[in-house]
Amino acid sequence: MVLMTKVAVVFADGCEEVEGLSVVDVLRRLNVETDMVGLTSKDVNGDHNIKLTCDKVVDDSLLDYDLVAFPGGMTGSANLRDDTKLRDLMVKRHEQGKWDAAMCAAPRALARYGVLDDAKFTCYPGIEKECLKDQPNAHFSEEITVTDNDKKILTSRGPATAWAFAYAIAEALGVDTKNLKKGMLYNYLADNIQDSL
């Protein structure tokens, strides 16, 4: 019996909508079972007043996912960082060797939980100071996405890197992204972005 890969994207009030929805969109296009999980409610109001309706609310089933991803947003990531129930579940996941991903300001939640210890990571410019205060043994990089295969941590920088983050998540889970990158014109964008700057 082949088990399906399952991903949860956790949305909190004040999240960067594009960062979470890009992951959901790309993974669902790749036929990866992906749930939108509200931190405290199925109804979430994003940082730009986009109302999101999630599939479920954070509970112990978060331990069953192959990967849990956090979008950023200053308010949203603070809500993730400060939630003790979520923290306890994420620490358990980390101890079980499961993948966790966070982008933009959200790596500060992983740092506060203690799961960035000795991990390579990236984040929104300036947020690394808070991350390194909580996890002084973490290793910051300015790369668009950073995948630490040893620590099972995947991070990315900000709204413009949301698709790179989504594809990196799929690839970390062993999903072939080649055709979708072509179909969504992601390769075209990557190849031509310098010309438009």
Q: 189 is written with which tokens?
A: 């964008």
Please give the DSSP secondary-structure letter assigned to residue 166.
H
State the average pLDDT over residues 44-67.
98
**Are the beta carbons of 153 and 115 closer than 8 angstroms?**
yes
- Domain encompassing residue 24: 6-196
Indicate if the pLDDT at residue 196 is higher than 80.
no
Q: In the chain, at which residue ranges do the beta strands (DSSP E only) sit?
A: 6-11, 33-38, 43-45, 51-53, 56-57, 67-70, 99-103, 120-121, 139-140, 145-148, 153-156
Three-state DSSP state, 43 = strand
Count how many domains the chain has. Answer: 1
Indicate if the pLDDT at residue 135 is higher than 80.
yes
Q: Quick check: is 32 in a domain?
A: yes
Q: Quick check: is 183 in a domain?
A: yes
**Threshold 0.85, pTM exceeds:** yes
Q: How would residue 16 be classed by pLDDT, with cut points 50, 70 and 90?
A: very high
Mean confidence (pLDDT) of the chain: 95
Among 72, 68, 57, smallest CA distance to 15 is for 72
Q: Quick check: is 164 in a domain?
A: yes
Identify the pLDDT of residue 1. Answer: 38
Q: Quick check: is 107 in a domain?
A: yes
Q: How would residue 192 be classed by pLDDT, with cut points 50, 70 and 90?
A: confident
Residue 59 burial (C-beta neighbours within 10 Å; 0-12, 13-18, 19+): exposed
CATH code of residue 115: 3.40.50.880
Q: How would residue 195 be classed by pLDDT, with cut points 50, 70 and 90?
A: low
Residue 159 CB partners (closer than 8 Å, separation 6+): 16, 18, 19, 104
Q: How many other C-beta atoms can be found within 10 angstroms of the C-beta atom of residue 113? A: 22
Condensed to tens digits (0 to 9), the pLDDT of residues 61-95 reads: 999 999 999 999 999 999 999 999 999 999 999 99
What count of residues does the chain have? 197
Q: Quick check: is 11 in a domain?
A: yes
Q: Quick check: is 62 in a domain?
A: yes
**Are the beta carbons of 68 and 62 closer than 8 angstroms?**
yes
Give strand pairing partners of 156: 103, 145
Q: Quick check: is 1 in a domain?
A: no
